[in-house]
Structure formats: C-alpha cells, structure tokens
C-alpha cells in the first residue's frame, strides 16, 4: 500500500508516502481514507524496519498488536499521506514500532504497532 519510500534506515526509522487519487479503491464513499486503513498503512510502512538478514525462506511478518493508537483525522482524496515510523524496541521476534501519519500539516494518527516475525515451519 505505501506508494513511495522516502527514507529508510533499516532497523532504525522509515518514512514513506502514499498519494490518494480520486476513485482510489481505499477511499470510502465520502472520499476519505478509513482509519483502519490508516493504521494498516502505518503497519505496512513499519514492517519495512524488520531486519530480514537472519530470516529463512518462507519467513513472514504479522501484525501482532496495536497499542495506544490515537486517530485524529482522515486523509481525503487528492492528499498525500506521509507515514514515519521508528523502531522503539525489539524483544526477540517481536518489534515495537512507533508510527505517525500526516496529511500536509494535519496529524492523522499516532501510536505503536507490534509486528512479529514468524518462522516458516518445515513441512
């Protein structure tokens, strides 16, 4: 879902943006990005921070939790949503990532997400 990665420091921080065009399938009937999709965008951008150098083939990551998420506003058609995330803490395969979403000078949401790296179980 992210349109463009602006800055990426693996395991540290990431900034990305997504332009919402008229008729975008992510927009609701009012032309707004639903808050659940704002959080999804934050999770996808935050997932870019997970270091996969020790991962094996078939490993994957899942959204494990959302903590203290504050939704302030909704992005609208024609706006660019900017998401910035930083890795706050890592406990084994669990990553706590703090994220913020903005559209222009408006804060859309901020909070923490948890992403867990899952190891593929050999069959």
The total number of residues written for the chain in this structure:
123
Q: Which residue has the tokens 């790296």?
A: 117
Q: Phi then psi for 79, rounded to 5 degrees?
A: -95, 160
CB distance 118 to 64 below 8 Å: no
In the chain, % helix, strand, coil (3-state, to 5) comes to 10, 50, 40
pLDDT band at 2 (very low <50, low <70, confident <90, very high): low
Please report, to the nearest 10 degrees, the dihedral formed by the alpha carbons of residues 45, 59, 92, 11 taken in order.
-40
Which residue blocks in 1-123 are alpha helix, DSSP H?
35-47
Query: 66-100 pLDDT, tens per residue?
Result: 999 999 999 999 999 999 999 999 998 899 999 99
Query: Which pTM value belongs to this model?
Result: 0.90
Q: Would you state the pLDDT for residue 119?
A: 81
């Amino acid at each position: 879902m992210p349109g463009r990665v602006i800055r990426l420091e693996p395991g540290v921080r990431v900034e990305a943006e997504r332009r919402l065009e008229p008729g975008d399938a992510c927009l609701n009937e009012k032309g707004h990005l639903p808050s659940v999709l704002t959080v999804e965008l934050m999770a996808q951008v935050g997932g870019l921070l997970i270091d996969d150098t020790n991962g094996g083939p078939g490993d994957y990551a899942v959204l494990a939790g959302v903590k203290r998420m504050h939704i302030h506003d909704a992005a609208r058609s024609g706006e660019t949503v900017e998401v910035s995330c930083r890795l706050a803490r890592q406990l084994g395969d669990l990553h706590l990532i703090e994220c913020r979403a903005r559209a222009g000078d408006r804060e859309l949401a901020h909070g923490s997400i948890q992403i867990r790296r899952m190891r593929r179980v050999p069959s």
